[in-house]
Chain A
Amino acid sequence: MPIVDVKGVEKVYQQGDIEVHALKDIYLSIAPGSFAAIAGPSGSGKTTLLNIIGGLDLPDHGEVVVDSRHFRKMNQSQLAELRLNRIGFVFQAYNLIPVLSAVENVEYVMLLQGVEKADRRKRAMAILDEVGLSEKYHNRPSELSGGQQQRVAVARAIVSNPAIVLADEPTANLDSKTGEALLQIMAEMNENRNVTFIFSTHDQMVMDYAHRLVLLRDGMIDDDQVK
């Protein structure tokens, strides 16, 4: 049974008087434990598709099922609950909370989940160790490099034991060496924890790492390769 099942999804944006068809009749199934990349040029609909899979945006037509949950039957509160417990996000711009330290940023998701303080701290530290930031627990984002910030974002995404992690252009702001190190970490997590990773990217390195590559063009799937 796929962890993500997208059936006939369409999304239209209104830009002034013009309708922009961001996604056209998308069908996509992703198996649990995948390490998949959705690639394509700018404006091809990668981020829109990722947002729809993450429940951040809703399709105009079609059906989205993630972790056996039908989005159409869920309200905003239930979607938020699903995101909190089953979906992790990594964004291009890291999006850490600037006033919290690395360990506190990672803890914050668990706070929302209602995890006890002592357990929160223990788990946050363990995951930061895993991404190689054991020396940076108490540094704030402004005191971390881009690569370190993105590793904190990965740790935050993974710490709540989600079923899938959605990463929107995670390496776009990083140099190739740092980007590769980050991908390495995510690949290990995918292997060790069996967490599904779905990337939106136009970074060739991410495409090379991915086990499956879905190519989008003009809001449609142009190619779908399993390596």
Chain B
Amino acid sequence: MELQLAWRNIWRNPRRTVIIMIAVIIGVWTMVALTSLMRGIVNDMLENGISTLTGDIKLYASGYHNDPSIEYRIDDPNSVISKIAKTLPVDSKYAARVRVNAIASNARHSIGLTLVGIDPDQEKGVSFIGNGVVDGRMISEDDNNAIVIGQALLEKFETRIGRKLILMSQNSQNEIVSKAFKIVGVFRAKLASTEKQFVFVNKHSAQKMLGIGNGISEISVVINDHGKFEQTSQGIAEILKDSDIEVHTWKDLLPMLTAYMEIFNGFIVLWYLVVFVAMAFGIVNTMLMAVFERMREFGLLKALGMKPMLILRSVLIESGIILIMGAIAGNLLAFGSVMMIAATGIDLSALSSGFEYVGMSSVIYPEIFLKDVFLANVVVLILGLAVSTYPAVKASRITPVEAMAHT
């Protein structure tokens, strides 16, 4: 009967109830929807970061991280891979690469970039290049002179598939070496800067050009469940503790991204706070009006023998019902709007050149995380009830004589 009474009281003044509900709906909607947009941006940045040859975990020869030259390399990658294989979670993938700074040139242009020697099969599911070739073909195991370059570089160099590209770098003896490659494929990446930054050749071809035997620069590991990267990296570091190999996670390698993620998390909390404060004023104000309007009734209930705690509870139940209804509607609206946007994303290509500097794609795909939905709802429900306590206490404290005199 308590719930029934609360339900009927709520609809005594439908307009007022709808006003509070709208405040809650807008609050929850903006909290969930905006957070999903922010999560979409952050996750996209993270995915971009991880897939742009970083991986969840990366292994380098000691010294390479500070001075990325071919001098610091892993000479026997197979033994390292066999050592760490058993500590990797199921479905993990890895790729061993040669990576060195180089100068690319053709008849008209030259540019500094990163030459990456890869095993094409290993890259599938590890980095964007695994499935990134959109024109021409991917390099193969036997392609000693083939190269795959990015669309943006292709355009900048005013070249095309089938043309030559000269790459120049330092070999293991610190001598300048150069080699002509034939462009066999063009890759696309989410960021144009990535398309200009990297060119890919066969790993053996790069090893031969640089004179490093079977040596490689890095082993990149991608874990299916990204959340396990720290635990896995600790396991790998433990296995390799006596070797001359450094183990890094994406957090070490992409400090800007880590900082952005922390800023975004802080911003989400701040956003929740701002929305909630605005909403709280609406709730308190409207609930106070509702309580003052019914002061005589509260006085009657006290006269009948209802204890103050029960009056407080009855007001909080009414408030709770409105908050729950508002939260449900707000969540539905948020899920609906996010689902609508999620299929196509929000195209910000007009601004994308600016976004690229922070590793963002031009299209944002919002992502709903249950923990964010949970947090938004908890904030609204718990703090909503907390602010409703003020009008509820007012109602519970009035004496029957005062209340009966209330007009």
The answer, yes or no, to whether A107 is at the interface (CB within 8 Å) is: yes
Is the C-beta of A3 less than 8 angstroms from some C-beta in chain B?
no
Assess whether B310 is interfacial by the CB under 8 Å rule: yes
Cβ–Cβ contact A80 & B302, under 8 A: yes
Chain A residues with CB under 8 A of B308: 76
B1 contacts A109, C-beta separation under 8 Å: no
Given A97-B297, A108-B1, CB of A83 within 8 Å of CB of B307: no
Residues in A with CB closer than 8 Å to B401 are 51, 56-57
A111 CB within 8 Å of chain B = yes
Contacts of A89 in B (CB 8 A): 303-304
Q: What distance in Å separates the Cβ of A206 from its nearest Cβ neighbour in chain B?
A: 20
> Is A118's CB within 8 Å of the partner chain B?
no
Interface size class of A (residues with CB under 8 A): 20 to 34
A1 on the interface (CB 8 Å rule)?
no
Q: B5 on the interface (CB 8 Å rule)?
A: yes
- Does residue A84 face the partner (Cβ distance < 8 Å to B)? yes
Choose among B296, B297, B310 the residue that contacts A112 (Cβ–Cβ < 8 A): B310
The closest CB in chain A to the CB of B304 belongs to A109
Task: Select the residue from B2, B9, B308, B404 with max chain A CB neighbours within 10 A.
Answer: B404
Interface residues in B, total, Cβ within 8 A: 21
Cβ–Cβ contact B305 & A83, under 8 A: yes
B305 and A99 within 8 A (CB): no
Asked if A137 is at the interface of the complex by the 8 Å CB criterion, the answer is: no
Of residues 31 through 84 on chain A, the ones whose CB sits less than 8 Å from some CB of chain B are 51, 54, 56-57, 76-77, 80-84
Residues from chain B with Cβ under 8 Å of A190 in the complex:
none
- CB of A132 within 8 A of chain B? no
Main SS class of interface, B = helix
In the docked arrangement, what's the CA distance between A77 and B307, Å?
A: 7
On whether the beta carbons of A56 and B9 are closer than 8 Å, the reply is no
Question: Contact at A83–B8, with CB atoms within 8 Å?
Answer: no
Chain B contacts with A in 1-46, Cβ cutoff 8 A: 1-2, 5, 8-9, 12
Verify A111–B303 contact, CB threshold 8 A. no
| In the complex, B170 has a CB within 8 A of chain A | no
- Tell me if A183 counts as interface (CB < 8 A to partner B): no
- Check: B306 CB closer than 8 A to any chain A CB: yes
What is the bound-complex CA distance between A57 and B299, given in angstroms?
12
Instruction: Report yes or no: B304 in contact with A108, Cβ–Cβ below 8 A.
Output: yes
Say if the beta carbon of A85 comes within 8 Å of chain B.
yes
Decide if B9 touches A99 in the complex (CB within 8 Å): yes
Q: Say yes or no: B404 contacts A91, CB within 8 Å.
A: yes
Q: Is the CB of A100 within 8 A of B302?
A: no
Closest chain B CB from A222 CB (angstroms) = 24
| Complex interface bits, A148-166 against B, C-beta within 8 A gives 1, otherwise 0 | 0000000010000000000
B125 at the interface (CB under 8 A from A): no
CB pair B5–A84 under 8 Å, yes or no, is no
Cα(A113)–Cα(B236), bound, Å: 67
- Chain B positions within 8 Å of A, measured between CB atoms, are 1-2, 5, 8-9, 12, 296-297, 300, 302-308, 310, 399-401, 404
Residues of A whose CB lies within 8 Å of any CB of B are 51, 54, 56-57, 76-77, 80-85, 87, 89, 91, 95, 97-100, 104, 107-109, 111-112, 117, 156
